[in-house]
Structure 1
Amino acid sequence: MKNPQKCLLAVMIAVFSVTGAFSQNKAKNPPIFSQAIYQGDDQVYKDHPLEEDEFYSPILQGCYPDPSITRKGEDYYMVHSSFAMFPGVPIFHSNDLVNWTQIGHVLDRKSQLKVHDTGISAGIYAPDIIYNENNDTFYMIVTQFAGGIGNMVVKTKDPKEGWSDPYKLEFGGIDPALFFDEDGKAYVVHNDAPDRGKELYNGHRVIKIWEYDMEADQVIKGTDKIIVDGGVDLSQKPIWIEAPHIYKKNGKYYLMCAEGGTGDWHSEVVFVSDAPKGPYIPAPSNPILTQRYFAKDRKNKVDWAGHADLVMGPDDKYYGVFLGIRPNDKDRVNSGRETFILPVDWSGNFPVFENGLIPMEPKIKMPKGVINKAGQDGFFPNGNFTYTEDFKSDKLDYRWIGLRGPREDFMAITEKGLEISPFEVNIKEVKPTSTLFYRQMHKNFNFTTTLEFTPQSEEDLAGITCLQSERFNYVFGVTKKGNDKHLVLERTEKGASKILASQKIDAKGPIHLKVEAQGDDYAFSYAVGGADFVNLGGTVSGDILSTNVAGGFTGSLIGLYVTSANDAKPE
């Protein structure tokens, strides 16, 4: 028998180590955010008020790209890319394609999502959700550029009850999608590189298909086949054929893909075959959706449309969800790729997005019999709206997300509000941050929060960040210089930081922090002791919060940011 005193000592050391680590992460006086208010005020919604039979598109504003949709009975489920955001793959439910409720995230555990050490635009790309009526199971297949995972699939009997851990799939490429045929057979299609030595030009890609073993949840080795080489017309050197989906209608197999890259040449194209593995013949009227041909200065511009998925609507008519962008007055993309919807005419041989080949309008007709309840009864808002969060509910709204790690690792709901315990990590590091994020959803908006915080050292900071990535962001927060509280505004571009302004403040009680934008013009301000808001740093450019400047695939995020590794030092 082992020495009992040594065993007891080992247990005590272990307990002390765990509690000691916890206490180091637990700040003595952690920041408390007692309220956050987001207000959107875009002119397009004032100019285009809704009639009773209309709703707005995009249906999801802000960074909800790469939509995929499926249906079981009267239930629709839709998912989106989430990159290094945590939890991953937001999932929405609807009964009518107009009114949507977020029911959670598909990847909500560390065992499913391993993005702790990756840049914000890596991680989760292009999820595909599909219901298989053959075994009454939902599948979500996706590429995870993190954790050594690659392509993977998770599944569930009920999307409202959580999803399995991942099944790692043994093939390369990106943008996988599943197809379940009526005979019980299953297939995976995806984007890939051409066979080695056969790449003809930069951006040359192919679409591959594999047979899929549903018992093993794995592709069947040796069954892969290239079914599209390059795109609709290889002689025209089409780029980035991707995001494939197979649909079956009247005994024919239709392969729909994005083509042209995810920028201003983006489009959706379609092919047809008599068999799931081809050969596939392109439709004579491709593309079936694009915004690339129109004047760059058109009013209420929607651009980059593509990456679509189809579903039968409640009125027995097809609809397509897809990504698009709405650039601001400087043609910059700060709100990211958003989720749009259009009816689809499939009365002929091929589907065509209705009004998807002319400049898109901000509103469309609802399916017959539907009542628009957006922003009411728990349904997701769109158009112009105000969202107020007082952090009093036991369950924090799903719109609030972390970056690279669970929000539960750093936050707690208390009687005073939201308590964030700081990580020794600042916003520029490629690590989990102690930051709670909300997506920018409008060109014109303001975001205000109320903060109680007494920094203990110059390494402590709490406030707001506006973040496009770890290399492009603004930080506006309260820190310490000497024995005094200071506000500081920092701009980081290409990883290089510059203090734009700082101000000593005399605030023993709460401080109100605000960021507001009018298109490309952003401004940061503060208020103490019931006084009016005071600007700090003047008007600054939102350029670094745009995809055009920062690159990557995300939209701008507004964060409640806390750190004990602050490097934004007041001047």
Structure 2
Amino acid sequence: MIRTAMTLALLAAPALAPMTAQAAPNTAAFSNFVYQGSDPSDAIKAGPGQYRNPVVQGFYPDPSVTRVGGDYYLVNSTFTWFPGLPIHHSTDLVNWTQIGNAIDRPGMLDFKRLGLSRAVFAPAITHHDGLFYILNTCVDCGGNFLITAKDPKGPWSDPVWLPQVGGIDASLFFDDDGRGWIVNNEEPPGPAEYQGHRAIWIQEYDPKTQKTIGPRTVLLDKGVNPAAKPIWPEGPHILKKDGWYYLTAAEGGTAEGHSQVALRSKAVTGPYVPYEHNPILTQRGLPKDRPLPITSAGHADIVDTPDGKWWATFLAVRPYGNDLYNTGRETFLLPVEWKDGWPVILENGKTIPYVADAPKLPKTPAPPTSGPFKAAESFAGPELPPGWMTMRIPTSRWWSVKGGTLNLEARKDKLGGQEQPSIWARRQQHMNATASTTVRFTPKADGDKAGLVALQSDDFYWFVGLVRDGGKTLVRVEKRTGKGDPVDGVVVAEKSVSLKNGQPLNLKIDVKAGALDFAYGTAPGKWETLKAGADGTSLSTKVAGGFVGTMLGVYAHGAEQ
């Protein structure tokens, strides 16, 4: 199993101040973490030679893809979760295995105490002359930067900051002559005329000095139809085919109006002419009552295959109810058809298919990332799998993984406090999902707690686990469903529980679209429901806001240290 390099980085970091004599910190020990999920769309069966959309389910937005020979590498946004910018590998564009994280060392970036939808936006990956490049933006924490690696598994370099590149969503294109060009979303050349008025800019990049050079040039102001006042042109990429330079970008914002557009030019710096049948991908304007809708499609990246075919990765969402989705923005795949010299991902008016014919490429053995599946984490150690993340960036080693147990120090940092709490979590990847674990924890002081959490942000989360309150040990469900709720959450349900020292307690969260069930048990396979039918729509993007999806994981907090 591939492990993150984070532990090595922490151990190699300068030593923390020596601890004075004090009581050992209280620790919560978690074992047997099992995730399982399915979706209504699973009823649509994939036949031989077909694949399922999305190809990478759950909170994997802003996909960027590159090819090196017969290998494909994918990177996604993670915002303020750490380790960040997951790197996936595939040989068939369908089956993906995470091989690392590009941001895996605490010293690479400083997420401060930013909200969970800030920090690292929209990475773009490319390969040139034996080196992998990722351009990215650390929003509110430094701006645009570049990291490189000879091996996409890592290690990736420390960030090289690009102060001349403003805005967000920078990507890098290398021309046939070896010259590099950075394109990005930025402020327009004059005053913004309306909310969402942005422009796409280009500037040359020198890979030898790792600096931008020469003038900055506007490639697209407003969008492909300026008279319609299009909003948020972003996520730009340049590709070259048959002597044409193609500029593709998202438009319309990342909600239901999202789309992808294309322009082309005979010169890399333009002028670029838009495709007369734009957008080349969107789901806006389709009937809202269509069954099993897929919406908000855009932010595409186009890649070719060795046999001359073209494919696009892009983000979209799978809502329930009225545009509610807890799983976040996910990675989808569709073929690209070239029509009269233009790349078309999906004709206007067509729906994104859940099942489609797969690329004729060598298959990649990989753990499932699409369709119904079960994933059991054994916590064998010494590290967590690369898909597990914590909130913001830790400055000390407060966890250990060994012998089937994930141990979390119950620290004072807590959920809801814009802090760096003792939490490790993995993505909710299905509309209907179950997460369960076994915890051994003895809360010693009022306020101590440890258990399972379903979390969308500091302001929107649900917790079930052991707590100490009024000198009593309780199993409790708590929630925070907005800034108006207390930081420590609101008690939803609780029950006194008597556990012998070290006795395990089983915990479970069942997610059924927008409903949550919470259960506990002291014997294997025997569950007692503590709260059924809780309103889980608070974990949807529509309610909670932001750009992330729900994370399911384990958490510990100590009121005294």
What TM-score, normalized by structure 2, do the two folds share? 0.93
- Counterpart of 2:11 in structure 1 is none
Larger Rg computed on CA atoms: 1
Give, in whole Å, the separation in 2 of the partners of 1:451 and 1:92: 31
Contact kept in structure 1, 2:317 and 2:328, CA below 8 Å: yes
Corresponding position of 1:257: 249
Amino acid at match of 1:213: D
Alignment pair present for 1:38 and 2:35: yes
Distance, in Å, in 2 between the alignment partners of 1:317 and 1:185 is 25
The 3-state SS of whatever aligns with 1:44 is helix
Match of 1:569 in 2: none
Q: CA offsets per residue over residues 90-122 of structure 1, 9 Å max, x none?
A: 010111212211001011112222113211000
Candidates 89, 94, 107, aligned match of 2:85? 89
Q: Distance in 1 between matches of 2:521 and 2:121?
A: 40
CA distance, structure 2, for counterparts of residue 482 and residue 250 of structure 1: 73
Shift of residue 328, structure 1, vs aligned partner:
1.9
Deviation at 1:16, TM superposition (A): 11
Please show how residues 71-470 of structure 1 align to structure 2 within 5 Å. 71-132=67-128, 135-147=129-141, 149-170=142-163, 171-196=165-190, 198-220=191-213, 223-354=215-346, 357-368=349-360, 370-371=362-363, 377-406=365-394, 409-415=397-403, 417-470=405-458
Q: Is the 8 A contact 1:116 1:432 kept in 2?
A: no
Q: Distance in 2 between matches of 1:263 and 1:395?
A: 36
Structure 1 counterpart SS, 2:18: helix
Moved more, 497-506 or 409-418: 409-418
C-alpha separation in 2, matches of 1:161 and 1:15: 24
Counterpart amino acid of residue 174 in structure 1: I
Name the CA distance, whole Å, in 2 between partners of 1:356 and 1:406: 46
Structure 2: unaligned runs, 5 residues or longer: 1-13
Deviations 1:229-273 (A, max 9, x none): 100011110010111000011111100000001111000000001
Q: Secondary structure of the equivalent of 1:235?
A: helix
Deviates more, 1:404-413 or 1:436-445: 404-413
Decide which of 50, 56, 75 is 2:52's aligned counterpart: 56
Q: CA deviation at 1:51?
A: 1.1
- Counterpart of 1:94, as a letter, is S
| 1:466 alignment partner AA | A
Match of 1:11 in 2: none
Secondary structure of the residue aligned to 1:381 is coil
Question: Match for residue 19 of structure 1?
Answer: 19
Q: Residues 207 and 241 of structure 1 are in contact (CA less than 8 Å); yes or no, is this contact kept in structure 2?
A: yes
Following the alignment from structure 1 to structure 2, what is the Cα–Cα distance between the partners of residues 361 and 456?
53
Q: Determine the C-alpha separation between the residues in 2 that align with 1:409 and 1:294.
A: 49
Is residue 313–residue 332 contact of structure 2 (8 Å, CA) maintained in 1? yes
Task: Give the 3-state SS of the residue equivalent to 2:145 in structure 1.
Answer: strand
Aligned equivalents of 2:403 and 2:359: distance in 1?
A: 44
C-alpha distance in structure 2 between counterparts of 1:15 and 1:76, whole Å? 39
Change (3 A) 1:454 1:229: same
Say whether the 8 Å CA contact 1:102–1:380 is kept in structure 2. no
Instruction: Give the residue type in structure 2 aligned to 1:57.
Output: N
- Residue 330 of structure 1: CA displacement? 4.7
1:335-390, Cα deviation, whole Å (9 max, x unpaired): 0000000000125310001467511121111122544x6xxx54343200011112
- Residues 420-569 of structure 1: pairs in structure 2 closer than 5 A: 420-495=408-483, 496=485, 497-508=489-500, 509-530=503-524, 532-565=526-559
Cα separation, 2, equivalents of 1:356 and 1:431: 44
- Partner of 1:544: helix, strand, or coil? helix
| Aligned-partner residue type, residue 284 of structure 2 | R
Q: Once the two structures are superposed, what CA deviation does each residue of 1:11-56 show, in whole Å capped at 9, x if it has no partner? A: xxx99951339x67x524x1111111111021211x1122121111
User: Hey, what's the Cα distance between the residues in 2 that align with 1:140 and 1:565?
Assistant: 40
Identical positions, percent: 38
Q: Is the partner of 1:297 in helix, strand or coil?
A: coil
Provide the secondary structure at the position in 1 that maps to 2:227: helix
Deviation at 1:216, TM superposition (A): 1.8
Deviation, structure 1 residue 416: 5.3
Moved more, 330-339 or 258-267: 330-339
How far apart are 1:483 and its partner, in Å? 4.0
Alpha carbons 1:54, 1:364 under 8 Å: kept: yes
SS in 2 for 1:159: coil
> The residue matched to 2:526 in structure 1 has which SS?
coil
- Structure 1 distance, partners of 2:229, 2:167, is 20
> How much is the aligned-residue C-alpha RMSD, in angstroms?
2.0
Match of 2:66 in 1: 70
Which AA in structure 2 matches 1:296?
A: K
Determine the C-alpha separation between the residues in 2 that align with 1:95 and 1:178: 23
1:504 is displaced (CA, Å) by: 0.6
Aligned partners of 2:307 and 2:346: how far apart in 1? 15
